[in-house]
Amino acid sequence: MKNLAIIGGGGWGTALAIILAPRFPRVRLWVYEADLAARMSATRENDVYLPGCLLPRRVEIVTELPAALDGAEIVLSAIPSHLVRGLYQQMLPFLNESMVFVSATKGLENGTLLRMSEVILDVFRNRLTPHVAVISGPTFALEVARLEPTALVVASTDGTLAETVQGAFSGPTFRLYANSDTIGVEIGGSVKNVVAIGAGVVHGLGLGHNTMAALITRGLAEITRLAVAMGGAAQTLAGLAGLGDLVLTCSGDLSRNRMVGVELALGGKLEEIVSSMKMVAEGIKTTNAVADLAKRHSVEMPICEQMLQMLQFGIPPREAIQRLMDRSLKGE
């Protein structure tokens, strides 16, 4: 495959353009903001979302979806979860069944509770039969763009498709592992953002390694329970898309979701925190969807429930931690 279209000019989309440019003769990066696109074309730098990282010359910056999609063999979307449905609906007239669609978005659609691959399939319903894969794992955009060794997962119910994307995307510093469990991979990538807000609370309150280790471990148990209840495989959550991504997002200073928890623990107001951020912290929007999914599948998720209580109903972060400790005793 020679032609790649990347939809989304945020930090992750830009990093993917940088890391994948050597793998494709033609890469087009669709950027929503016209002024940003003009600067990126001139300076080869995304000064808003990924400053200091230069885009290779072969990456063409475009602002029109038809131009981005013209001749594309792989369409890789790296956009906030709440925009996926609308953008795919806009792209639909310019798509065809020969294209491969890869979702790099970690999140759930509020209301429908669909995973991103399901949203894409829903948009295409009764129109064409798309080839869809997802990529997820422990990836900070800045470190990927700096060409630091990174490992992640590509998942598709079509094993041949997963291997095709694996071969097309893997390179010297970007290693993909193929997986058939899209449910486990997408649930791991989505719910870990909710747990990461809790990790930020732990850090912001000045609590130590004991607390953080307990939160990560019990958070992984919650994610696994939900994924399995939805038809995913437990072993997927023990891998890069589960444990790996959870550890990164809960412990890394580049984690936006962790930062939200830190700021809340320090007394910040959620509205002010969100308004000060350039990029989306997916965990904020995902928390409601996770709580609804837990109810739908009768899965107990106390950490995610307390994050909901904190974000939606304003209970103090320290009280949220104490509620978790005061729960009735159980076996592991």
Q: Which residues are CB-contacts of 330 (< 8 A; sequence separation ≥ 6)?
A: none
Is the separation of the CB atoms in 303 and 215 below 8 Å? yes
Cα separation, 325 vs 327, whole angstroms: 6
* pLDDT for 225 beyond 90: yes
Please tell me the predicted confidence (pLDDT) of residue 128.
86
User: Residue 297: which pLDDT band, with cuts at 50, 70 and 90?
Assistant: very high
How far lies 54's CA from each of 58, 145, 280, in Å?
12, 9, 22
Query: Could you tell me the two tokens for 65?
Result: 């979806």
Closest CA to 167 of 1, 18, 19: 1
User: Residue 280: which pLDDT band, with cuts at 50, 70 and 90?
Assistant: confident
Cα separation, 124 vs 201, whole angstroms: 40
129-149 average pLDDT score: 97
Please tell me the predicted confidence (pLDDT) of residue 218.
97
* Per-residue pLDDT tens over the stretch 150-170: 999 999 999 999 999 999 999
Lowest mean pLDDT among 49-53, 190-194, 224-228, 282-286: 282-286
Catalytic residue status for 278: no
Task: Tally Cβ neighbours within 10 Å of residue 208.
Answer: 9
Query: Could you tell me the two tokens for 250?
Result: 């809960």
* pLDDT for 12 beyond 90: yes
Please tell me the predicted confidence (pLDDT) of residue 220.
98
Identify the active-site residue in 2, 106, 192, 295.
192
Length of the chain: 332
Please tell me the predicted confidence (pLDDT) of residue 45.
97
Q: How many CA atoms lie within 13 A of 302 on its CB side?
A: 16
Crossing angle of helices 302-313 and 182-204, rounded to 10°: 60
Task: Tally Cβ neighbours within 10 Å of residue 125.
Answer: 9
Closest CA to 177 of 166, 189, 161: 166
Q: How far is CA 123 from the centre of its chain?
A: 20
Please tell me the predicted confidence (pLDDT) of residue 72.
97
Task: Tally Cβ neighbours within 10 Å of residue 207.
Answer: 16
What residues form DSSP beta bridges with 101?
Answer: 75, 132
126 sits in the region (left: phi over 0; alpha: psi -120 to 50; else beta) called left
* pLDDT for 279 beyond 80: no
Q: What is the DSSP letter of 240?
A: I
Please tell me the predicted confidence (pLDDT) of residue 286.
93
Give me the domains of the chain, ranges plus CATH numbers.
3-180 (3.40.50.720), 183-325 (1.10.1040.10)
- Kindly report the average pLDDT of the chain as a whole number: 96
User: Residue 49: which pLDDT band, with cuts at 50, 70 and 90?
Assistant: very high
* Per-residue pLDDT tens over the stretch 177-196: 999 999 999 999 999 999 99
Strand positions, DSSP E, 31-157: 45-46, 50-54, 59-62, 74-77, 100-103, 131-136, 150-155
Please tell me the predicted confidence (pLDDT) of residue 163.
97
Q: What is the DSSP letter of 171?
A: B
